[in-house]
Each structure stands twice: as structure tokens, then as C-alpha cells.
């Protein structure tokens, strides 16, 4: 035969299996807390239910988080499969919950700027994140696109102080989805003041992880590596997440 | 009457991870029964390639030896229960040999068996079973996944019976069946339109025209160079095809397909006349035990020295074989 029995033009074009990921990020006032070299200004402020000393200099949690998210995007874009498979949205929660970035092709996405608010409406944030993931799955169904289990990454440095009923509803929905193996949830506590007991209520399958300040880069490096593995998994192939290693550096 | 071919290639992801090809294919002809079977070993099961191998061999032998019993059983649920039980017995034996757990041997399973005018079809898990009738490709069994792309059902799953699909019937005009693993389905099956790639019909036609060894070699080459580039997973395919009234062989190919097979350009001067001569040569060789240059020369009304060029080309392409005493015969008979 002139050419090969099967040529590239003969093949069906199936969309890459998608992995929808929602980063649900705390942008409450406490995320402005700084470490490193700073000087006190002598002024104070009341934010997120607490009194804070105002300082000059240092590196804030939200700045590091912003850098970590950017690195996460870059790592995914560099992987040949994951850049087409991963679809990422960002929900932030402070006084209210906001969809800062909706799902779309990673190539078209730019990491939006994270800005500080005041309170910690965690329940509202998680509910919005779950709504977005559900909507995305419905879109996949309608378009005939196959997909993997969605991921919810919840990151906070404090205690929720939004609507208690919304918080209970968010915990109940998340736990129900995780138990039915319809969602992978990664609750991450930032710093010493994170309410780990509360985060654990979101996660019946694995314990919430604590990431110390300025360790976001390592966390997002781990997260992108795990996402790349997941995007290449086949039927019956459960991706083993190396949670032990992340726990190790998280406690440094 | 049926021609059976198979192909299995280790996926890029498995090469990288150092895991063996977990897709296994088996073809078998015996007792008037033709069987093709394909099993895709579970990625999470460490010895699934052994399980897949055992299951495909077992079902080929089972349907060859007891086709009538399975076909005549009217209770579909009973067929599913008995088949799963027999498969689990095989895997239990293998488990003891390999000193492992039953779940280590998990695989999907796709089977088609045909005897006279009857066929049987079995499907557990993902992958696709297609058939070719009246020149059209259709899906007989779609992939069975859960909600997510990396969830499917296996021979060892607790719900193997409830998720198993079986079918039986008369072949009628069905000329071919094809089994493919989920890795291959990424290239030959559209998840959006639930349809099969037309190239499968080409492969079936070529299987009827060329010897099995050549088709399997060409398939392997295509899989290694093209199909596995679309996925990280192993890719495999098994098919069975027979001549029918709508397609008997070379003479029923389109002009473009004939040019492709003969490796000649469609824009060659007098191409229609040349193709008509090739067709006459192939028809004569296919219908007679053997032919000579002189007899073929008479058939196409061309001097032997010119007829020889035609003969040499079909010989080079593998469509015919030369025998002793200047005789020629079809490669596929």
C-alpha cells in the first residue's frame, strides 16, 4: 500500500478527558498577615474578627498564595496532557463568595489578582465552588466530553465566620460527594491559626493538611504533579496521591 | 470463511512506567466456530496482564467447544451468571498459581463468536464492539464507564454480571466484527457522536484482500506510529471479517482504494483502463486455482510482455503469489 494502513487523518478527534479543579481560596483580612523583615507602624486595625498590628515590609500570605497559584498554572501548562485536561476555576471568599475566574481552556487563562477583604465566609465559598463544579460537569455531559473526578482545593488561614447555615450545608454537600466518590477534596490550613478541626469536617477520606506560611510553592508544585498524574490515568487506575510527602514538608 | 486478525501495543504511559502491555487479544478458529476476544487489564491491578491473557484464551476455547450450548440458552441472566462463574474459576486457578489476590487479575472483556449464521457477543467494561454490514460500520456495544473516565467494570467486579452486555442473533448481511480497547477507542470511536472511524471498514476490506500476516504487520506498524500517539494507554484491536455479496475482494474496491492497494497514482494516464485490467487479472486469479501469464494475457487482451508488468505489480503488492511452473494464485486462499 502506498501509505500506512491507518493515517492520522483517519482518526476520530476526541476531546481530552477533563479534570475540573476549583481553587477555593480565603481572601479574608487575616491573609494580609506578614512574615519576614517588617517594622511595626504603631497603628492597629480590626479585620476578620481580630485586632491587627499594622506593619511596613515583610511578605504577606496572600502575596505568597498569588505566587503559588501562578506557579501551579505554569506547571500545568508545561505538561503536554495536563494543559488540555485540567480546567481550573478560582473562587475567593471573604465578606462574600466570588467566582474570580470561571472554567475555560488553560491557554486562555491568566491568574487573576487576589485582593483582601474582611471576613471569612467559607461556607458560602465552598457552596459556590461546588455549584461551579456541578455546572461544569453538566456542560461536559451536554458536549459528550469525558471527565475525571473533580477536585476541590480549599485553602484558609482562619476560622469561618460567615453564615453558619451555609457552612453546615457546604460541609454536608462536600462530605456527601466525597463519600460517593464524586469529588476529591483537599482542605489546606495556612499557618498556625487555621482551624484544622473545621477543615477536617470537610474531608471524611483524608486529614486536612497544614501548610506553613511561605510554603505555598511546594504545595502547588505537589498539586500540579498530582494533577498531571490524574490527567494521564486510565480506567481502574486510581492515582495514589503522595499525601505523606506533602504532610512532611507541611509540618516543617 | 472468516479471516481473523489481532494487534496489541504497549501504551506510552506503560513504557514510561515500566509496566507491561496489559491489553491482550486472542483469535481462534475450531469446531466451525470463529472467536475473537480482547481484554484490557486493569491499570491498578499489578498482574492484570496475566488475568487478561487467561480470560481471552479461556473464552476462545469455551465458545469454540460449546457455542451451541451458549447460543441456545434462552435465559440471558443465566448465561451471564454461568459465564462469570466460569471466568472466576479460571482466575481463581491463576490466582493460586501466581499467589495473588483475585482483584490483581482484573480486566475488561470483549468477545464475538460466530458459527454458521449465528453470532454471540459478550462485553464487560469499556472498549467498543463494532460491526460491518452492507458497507456500513455500526456500534454493537458502547463503552461501559461510570460517571468518570477512569472508572469501569471488570471480570472480577462485584457488579460484573449486572454490567455485562450480551447479544446473540443471525448474522444476515453482517460481514465483520471489531473489538477495541479503550486506548484504541480514543482513535477509532467518537465519544461525542458514538460513531466509528471509517478506516475500520478499510482495514476489514484489506483483511479480505491481503494475507493475515501482512495485515497484522501493517496494523502493528500503524498502531506503533499513529494510534498510540493519541493516548498514554495500551492499544489493541481484534477483528473478524468474511466476504459477502456486497464485498468479495479486490474487484469491489473503489478506484481510489485500488490505486492505494496497487501503489499507483490516481492521476496516471489511462488509469481507468489500467484499473480495469488489474481487476480482470485479480478476478481471474481469485476464481481459478491458478493462472499463467499466457492465460491472463488472453483475458485482458494484452501482449504477455505488457501483461507481465501488471502481474509483477500485484505480486510486489502481495496480492498474489507465484507458484511452480509459471503459475500464479491468490495470496489469501
A33 within 8 A of A157, measured Cβ to Cβ: yes
CATH class of A14-250: alpha beta
Q: Is the ipTM of this complex over 0.85?
A: no
Identify the closest residue of chain A to B103 by CA–CA distance. A236
- The mean pLDDT of A71-94, rounded to a whole number, is 89
* Nearest chain A Cα distance for residue B55, angstroms: 17
Residue of B nearest to A7 (CA): B226
Provide the whole-model pTM.
Answer: 0.85
Q: DSSP labels for A163-215? A: -HHHHHHHHHHHHHHHHTTS-EEEEEEESTTS-HHHHHHT-SSS--EEE-TT-
- Higher-pLDDT residue of A161, B55: B55
Give the lowest-confidence range in A32-41, A180-189, B196-205, B251-260: A32-41
Contact indicator for A168, A188 with CB cutoff of 8 Å: no
pLDDT (tens digit per residue) in A154-174: 999 888 999 999 999 999 999
The total number of residues written for chain A in this structure = 252
In a mutational test of the B interface, the residue from A2, A6, A84 whose CB has the highest number of chain B CBs within 10 Å is A6
Q: Buried b / exposed e across B236-250, counting CB within 10 Å, b at 16+?
A: bbbbbbbbbeebebb
Rg (CA), chain A: 20
Query: Does A6 contact B at CB distance below 8 Å?
Result: yes
Judge whether residue B25 has pLDDT over 90: yes
Domains, chain B, with CATH or none: 3-241 (3.60.40.10), 250-330 (1.10.10.10)
Question: Which pLDDT value is given to residue B298?
Answer: 92
Cβ–Cβ gap A5/B230 under 8 Å: no
- Using the Cα atoms of residue B76, residue B81, residue B82 and residue B88 in order, give the sign of their dihedral: positive
**What counts of helices (H) and strands (E) characterise chain A?**
7, 8
Task: Please check whether residue B208 is in contact with residue B269, taking contact to mean a CB–CB distance below 8 angstroms.
Answer: no
Residue numbers in B near A238 (CB within 8 A): 44, 150
Q: What pLDDT score was predicted for residue A251? A: 35
Q: B318 is written with which cell numbers?
A: 502481495
The pLDDT confidence band at residue B44, using thresholds 50, 70 and 90, is confident
* Per-residue model confidence as pLDDT tens digits over B229-242: 989 899 999 999 99
Q: What is the predicted pLDDT for the residue at B20?
A: 95
Q: Is the separation of the CB atoms in B189 and B196 below 8 Å? A: yes
The shortest C-alpha distance from B233 to chain A (Å) reads 7
Amino acid at each position: 500500500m502506498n501509505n500506512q494502513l491507518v493515517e492520522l487523518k483517519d482518526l476520530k478527534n476526541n476531546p481530552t478527558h477533563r479534570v475540573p479543579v476549583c481553587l477555593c481560596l480565603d481572601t479574608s483580612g487575616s491573609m494580609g498577615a506578614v512574615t519576614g523583615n517588617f517594622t511595626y507602624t504603631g497603628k492597629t486595625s480590626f479585620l476578620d474578627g481580630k485586632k491587627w498590628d499594622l506593619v511596613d515590609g515583610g511578605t504577606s500570605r496572600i502575596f505568597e498564595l498569588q505566587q503559588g497559584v501562578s506557579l501551579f498554572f505554569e506547571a500545568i501548562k508545561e505538561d503536554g496532557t495536563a494543559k488540555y485536561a485540567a480546567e481550573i476555576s478560582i473562587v475567593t471568599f471573604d465578606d462574600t463568595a466570588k467566582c474570580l475566574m470561571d472554567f475555560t481552556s488553560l491557554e486562555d487563562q491568566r491568574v487573576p489578582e487576589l485582593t483582601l477583604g474582611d471576613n471569612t465566609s467559607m461556607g458560602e465559598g465552598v457552596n459556590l465552588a461546588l455549584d461551579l463544579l456541578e455546572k461544569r460537569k453538566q456542560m461536559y455531559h451536554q458536549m459528550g466530553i469525558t471527565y475525571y473526578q473533580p477536585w476541590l482545593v480549599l485553602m484558609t488561614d482562619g476560622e469561618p465566620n460567615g453564615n453558619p447555615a451555609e457552612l453546615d450545608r457546604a460541609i454536608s454537600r462536600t462530605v456527601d460527594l466525597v463519600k460517593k466518590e464524586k469529588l476529591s477534596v483537599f482542605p489546606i490550613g495556612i499557618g498556625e491559626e487555621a482551624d484544622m478541626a473545621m477543615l477536617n469536617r470537610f474531608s471524611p477520606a483524608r486529614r486536612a493538611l497544614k501548610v506553613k506560611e511561605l510554603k505555598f510553592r511546594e504545595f502547588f508544585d505537589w498539586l500540579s504533579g498530582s494533577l498531571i498524574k490524574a490527567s494521564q490515568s486510565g480506567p481502574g487506575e486510581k492515582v495514589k496521591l503522595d499525601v505523606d510527602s506533602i504532610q512532611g514538608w507541611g509540618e516543617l | 470463511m472468516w479471516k481473523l486478525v489481532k494487534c496489541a501495543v504497549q501504551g506510552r504511559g506503560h513504557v514510561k512506567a515500566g509496566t507491561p502491555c496489559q491489553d491482550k487479544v486472542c483469535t481462534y478458529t475450531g469446531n466451525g466456530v470463529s472467536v475473537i476476544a480482547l481484554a484490557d487489564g486493569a491499570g491498578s491491578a499489578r498482574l492484570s496482564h496475566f488475568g487478561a491473557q487467561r480470560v481471552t484464551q479461556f473464552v476462545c476455547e469455551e465458545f469454540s467447544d460449546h457455542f451451541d450450548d451458549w447460543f441456545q440458552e434462552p435465559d440471558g441472566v443465566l448465561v451471564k451468571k454461568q459465564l462469570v462463574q466460569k471466568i472466576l474459576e479460571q482466575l481463581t486457578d491463576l490466582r493460586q498459581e501466581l499467589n495473588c489476590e483475585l482483584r490483581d487479575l482484573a480486566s475488561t472483556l470483549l468477545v464475538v463468536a460466530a458459527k454458521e449464521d449465528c453470532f454471540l457477543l459478550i462485553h464487560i467494561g469499556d472498549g467498543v464492539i463494532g460491526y460491518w454490514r452492507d458497507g456500513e460500520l455500526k456500534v454493537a456495544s458502547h463503552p461501559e464507564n461510570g460517571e468518570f473516565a477512569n472508572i469501569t467494570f471488570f471480570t472480577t467486579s462485584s457488579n460484573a454480571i449486572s454490567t455485562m452486555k450480551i447479544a446473540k442473533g443471525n448474522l444476515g448481511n453482517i460481514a465483520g466484527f471489531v473489538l477495541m480497547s479503550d486506548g484504541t477507542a480514543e482513535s477509532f470511536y467518537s465519544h461525542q457522536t458514538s460513531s466509528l472511524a471509517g478506516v475500520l471498514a478499510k482495514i476489514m476490506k484489506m483483511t479480505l484482500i491481503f494475507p493475515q500476516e501482512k495485515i497484522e504487520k501493517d496494523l502493528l506498524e500503524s498502531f506503533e506510529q499513529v494510534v498510540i500517539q493519541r493516548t498514554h494507554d495500551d492499544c489493541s484491536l481484534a477483528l473478524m471479517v468474511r466476504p459477502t455479496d456486497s464485498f468479495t475482494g479486490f474487484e469491489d474496491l473503489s478506484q481510489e482504494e485500488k490505486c492505494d492497494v496497487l501503489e499507483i497514482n490516481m492521476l496516471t494516464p489511462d488509469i481507468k483502463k489500467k484499473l480495469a485490467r488489474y481487476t480482470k487479472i485479480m478476478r481471474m486469479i481469485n476464481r481459478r486455482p491458478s493462472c499463467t501469464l499466457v492465460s491472463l494475457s488472453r483475458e485482458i487482451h494484452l501482449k504477455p510482455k505488457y501483461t507481465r508488468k501488471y502481474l509483477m505489480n500485484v505480486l510486489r503488492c502481495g496480492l498474489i503469489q507465484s507458484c511452480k511452473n509459471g503459475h500464479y494464485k491468490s495470496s489469501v486462499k
